[in-house]
Amino acid sequence: MRWMVVGAKGMLGTDLVSRLVEAGHDVLAMDKDEVDITNEASVDHAIDSADVVVNVAAFTAVDAAEEREADAFLVNAVGPQYLARRCKKIGARLVHISTDYVFNGSSSTPYLENGAVAPAGAYGRTKAAGEWAVQSSTDDYIIVRTAWLYGANGACFPKTMARLSEKMEKLSVVTDEVGQPTWTADLADLILRLVEATVPSGIYHGTSSGRTNWHAFTQAIMTSMGKDPAIVTETTAAAFQRPAPRPSFSVLSHNQLVAAGIEPIGNWLERWNEAAPAILADY
């Protein structure tokens, strides 16, 4: 099976390419130097023949998107449209990665795959538009929404906390944002399993099982570092203002995975404990 990965040098892209190569697939890894997804001619030129195209390219700077929504829209919505049109033309399946930020976080029960989206900020609006662009441009797609991603090959929350813990005696972390920390290596494996199983076109949620908050996640990170988790103190999101709103509840349902016979990613803490040596090897 011939795969093309677009955004291959990013945090998820790096682990995805490794997983696909390990599984013996023919993979063409592309990033900005090889294809600019905001340029239709570039997309049409670069995406020539493939069975599967995975779009992991994105404008992911959530706060910057508030001031640069047009730039974010180009990468997160227009680019996926060009990719979807091209995939339809060459007969490739498109796997597109989306986010919990398409929801506003006001729910108290896991967000369903086919529930209405209602983003609260610019990044989420552009990612929701990307989902619509894909769905309206091709019939052969898998949209995988993920959240709270961490990986060995990118700036991520555990690395930031590990760094801060070397400089500060206490870490003040929010308790009132709930979600599912997800390892990029696990998500890469899930993408492979979804494609190999030829699941029906639709939206799937690619997050760890269970739920936690940033405070408890930070305590787990400190424990993995051999530090006292009591150095992590509690605060609330209200005391920690940032330009873009964060969803207070980001737990995603895995119903569509189960319906398709795909095992969801395991419990967030078990997966963190497995991932920690690789993530904390370098921060």
Ligand X SMILES: NC(=O)c1ccc[n+]([C@@H]2O[C@H](COP(=O)([O-])OP(=O)(O)OC[C@H]3O[C@@H](n4cnc5c(N)ncnc54)[C@H](OP(=O)(O)O)[C@@H]3O)[C@@H](O)[C@H]2O)c1
Minimum CB separation of residue 102 from ligand X in Å reads 10
Regarding beta strands 141-146 and 212-213, do their DSSP bridges make them parallel or antiparallel, or are they unpaired? unpaired
Minimum CB separation of residue 94 from ligand X in Å reads 13
Distance between CA atoms of residues 68 and 274, nearest Å? 37
Contact between 58 and ligand X by CB under 6 A: the answer reads yes
What values do phi and psi take at 253, rounded to 5? -70, 150
Q: How many residues bind ligand X (CB under 6 A)?
A: 27
Q: Which of 82, 101, 111, 123 is catalytic?
A: 123
Residue 123 catalytic?
Answer: yes
Contact between 149 and ligand X by CB under 6 A: the answer reads yes
- CA distances 79 to 15, 36, 56, 83, 148, Å, are 22, 8, 11, 6, 23
Q: Where are the beta strands (DSSP E) in 206-275?
A: 212-213, 232-235
Among the listed residues 17, 29, 54, 60, the single contact to ligand X using CB under 6 A:
60
Contact between 10 and ligand X by CB under 6 A: the answer reads yes
Q: Pick the closer one to ligand X by CB: 99 or 138.
A: 99
- Which tokens belong to 145? 């929404």
Contact between 146 and ligand X by CB under 6 A: the answer reads yes
Regarding beta strands 52-55 and 178-179, do their DSSP bridges make them parallel or antiparallel, or are they unpaired? unpaired
Distance between CA atoms of residues 61 and 64, nearest Å? 5
Among the listed residues 5, 20, 27, 38, the single contact to ligand X using CB under 6 A:
38
Among the listed residues 3, 4, 9, 105, the single contact to ligand X using CB under 6 A:
9
Q: Where are the beta strands (DSSP E) in the chain?
A: 2-6, 26-30, 52-55, 93-99, 141-146, 149-150, 171-174, 178-179, 182-183, 202-205, 212-213, 232-235
Contact between 154 and ligand X by CB under 6 A: the answer reads yes
Minimum CB separation of residue 17 from ligand X in Å reads 11
Residue linked to tokens 């506003």: 104
Among the listed residues 23, 31, 66, 213, the single contact to ligand X using CB under 6 A:
31
Q: Pick the closer one to ligand X by CB: 97 or 203.
A: 97
Among the listed residues 29, 37, 47, 222, the single contact to ligand X using CB under 6 A:
37
Q: Pick the closer one to ligand X by CB: 169 or 282.
A: 282
Kindly indicate which of the ranges 8-16, 45-53, 165-173, 259-267 contains the residues binding ligand X, using the contact rule CB under 6 A: 8-16
Contact between 122 and ligand X by CB under 6 A: the answer reads no
Q: Pick the closer one to ligand X by CB: 62 or 216.
A: 62
Contact between 185 and ligand X by CB under 6 A: the answer reads no
Q: Are 257 and 205 in contact (CB under 8 A)?
A: yes
Q: Are 273 and 129 in contact (CB under 8 A)?
A: no
Known catalytic residues? 123
Residues forming contacts to ligand X in the complex (CB under 6 A) are 6-7, 9-13, 31-32, 35-38, 56-58, 60, 75, 79, 97, 99, 127, 146-149, 154
